[in-house]
């Protein structure tokens, strides 16, 4: 990128050049990636770029952009480079301490909201296991004004990011964050949770090496790797999570592509009822809807 008198590096020219450069490096969504990186370097909204198509950025802005493009061409995730990611129409801070929110995880939010809105209006108690950036907890709380969400994660660094996102969206009074490892560390409220929602680590150990470089080499391994078959935390949720739910509660659990039958069998072995599986936008079975075992004479199962 060296400007000439005949062809200055306008915003339009920067976008065109970067789009083709990222495409040649096999970066996903090269046009969108170029727009997000340039907007970040200029400190503006993506939509503002096209109102300034013929503008020539300052030299220091171009230098900042060049550095971002260089890292993107090495497959560093765009979300980590810009520090932001959109999820369910909301903006979230992301850092390498958290998994990057993805569209398929929005299904967890939609299932939770639909289930709660179909019940009597009251303060819904929601548990988000493995909250990461806090995107699921925040989106649910924004859509359900009567919801109180307990969001847990085993990573203190991840919870620091989630805490900033909760504050960004003005939800500190209704979203509580807790450092805890899995369902064992979550305190059960009186009456139990109405919904347990989780996007657990579910990548099988043998499949980790085949993940795209932008995922494998940059995103936190603890948020991805689910043990030998990808079901380690899912087994723990099946065994322990039932004791956290109200008798008429639900669990919505994200799973990997091709994992539906095995994950459902894990829950069935613990007495759960598999109510169905929602598909994501690509048509892939993505989230299990589950009903916990019925409470016994001495209270909820544990």
By residue range, what is the domain housing residue 186? 97-291
Q: Looking at residue 2, what is its pLDDT?
A: 53
Contacts of 261 by beta carbon, 8 Å cutoff, 6+ apart: none
Same domain, 244 and 180: yes
Contact (Cβ atoms closer than 8 angstroms) between residue 226 and residue 201:
yes
DSSP output for 241-292? GGGGEEEEEEEEEE--TT-HHHHHHHHHHTT-EEEEEEE-TTS-EEEEEEEP
Domain check: are 178 and 134 in the same one? yes
> Is 149 in the same domain as 204?
yes
d(CA 240, CA 258): 24
Q: What is the mean pLDDT of the chain?
A: 94
CA 105 to the chain's CA centroid: 6
Report whether 286 contacts 104 (CB < 8 A). yes
Q: Please tell me which residue, 62 or 3, carries the higher pLDDT value.
A: 62
Q: Residue 265: which CATH number? A: 3.40.50.150
pLDDT-based confidence at residue 1 (cuts at 50, 70, 90) = low
The residue out of 74, 106, 121 marking a domain boundary is 74
Q: Are residues 121 and 261 in the same domain?
A: yes
Helix (H, G, I), strand (E, B) or coil at 56: coil
**pLDDT reported for residue 7:** 85
Q: What is the pLDDT of residue 217?
A: 95
Mean pLDDT on 21-49: 95
The tens digit of pLDDT for each residue in 179-226 reads 999 999 999 999 999 999 999 999 999 999 999 999 999 999 999 999
Count of structural domains within the chain: 2
Query: What confidence tier does 6 reach under pLDDT thresholds 50, 70, 90?
Result: low
* pLDDT, tens only, 159-187: 999 999 999 999 999 999 999 999 999 99
Q: Which of 41-50, 118-127, 225-234, 237-246 has the lowest mean pLDDT?
A: 118-127
Residue corresponding to tokens 């494998």: 216
User: What mean pLDDT is predicted for residues 24-53?
Assistant: 94
Q: Are residues 103 and 201 in the same domain?
A: yes
At residue 102, the pLDDT reads 96
Give the list of residues 6+ apart from residue 241 with CB closer than 8 angstroms, or none. 129, 183, 196, 251, 292
Q: What is the pLDDT of residue 299?
A: 41
300 pLDDT exceeds 70?
no
302 has a pLDDT exceeding 70: no
């Amino acid at each position: 990128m060296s400007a000439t008198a005949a062809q200055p590096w306008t915003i339009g020219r920067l976008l065109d050049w970067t789009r083709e450069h990222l495409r040649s490096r096999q970066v996903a969504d090269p046009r969108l990636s170029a727009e997000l990186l340039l907007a970040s370097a200029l400190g503006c909204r993506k939509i503002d770029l096209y109102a300034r198509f013929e503008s020539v950025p300052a030299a220091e802005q171009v230098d900042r952009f060049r550095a971002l493009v260089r890292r993107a061409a090495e497959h560093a995730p765009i979300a980590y480079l810009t520090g932001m990611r959109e999820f369910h129409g909301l903006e979230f801070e992301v850092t390498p301490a958290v998994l990057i929110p993805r569209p398929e995880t929005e299904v967890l939010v939609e299932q939770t909201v639909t289930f709660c809105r179909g019940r009597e209006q009251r303060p819904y108690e929601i548990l988000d296991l493995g909250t990461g950036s806090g995107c699921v907890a925040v989106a649910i709380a924004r859509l359900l004004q009567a919801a109180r969400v307990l969001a847990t994660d085993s990573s203190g660094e991840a919870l620091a990011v989630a805490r900033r996102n909760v504050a960004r969206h003005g939800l500190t009074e209704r979203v509580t964050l807790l450092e805890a490892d899995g369902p064992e560390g979550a305190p059960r409220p009186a009456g139990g949770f109405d919904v347990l929602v989780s996007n657990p680590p579910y990548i099988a150990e043998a499949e980790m090496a085949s993940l795209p470089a932008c995922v494998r080499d940059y995103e936190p391994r603890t948020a991805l790797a689910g043990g030998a078959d990808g079901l380690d935390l899912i087994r723990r949720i099946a065994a322990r999570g039932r004791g956290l739910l109200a008798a008429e509660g639900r669990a919505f659990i994200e799973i990997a592509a091709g994992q539906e039958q095995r994950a459902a069998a894990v829950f069935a072995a613990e007495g759960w009822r598999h109510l169905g599986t929602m598909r994501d936008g690509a048509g892939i079975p993505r989230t299990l809807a589950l009903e916990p075992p019925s409470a016994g004479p001495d209270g909820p199962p544990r």
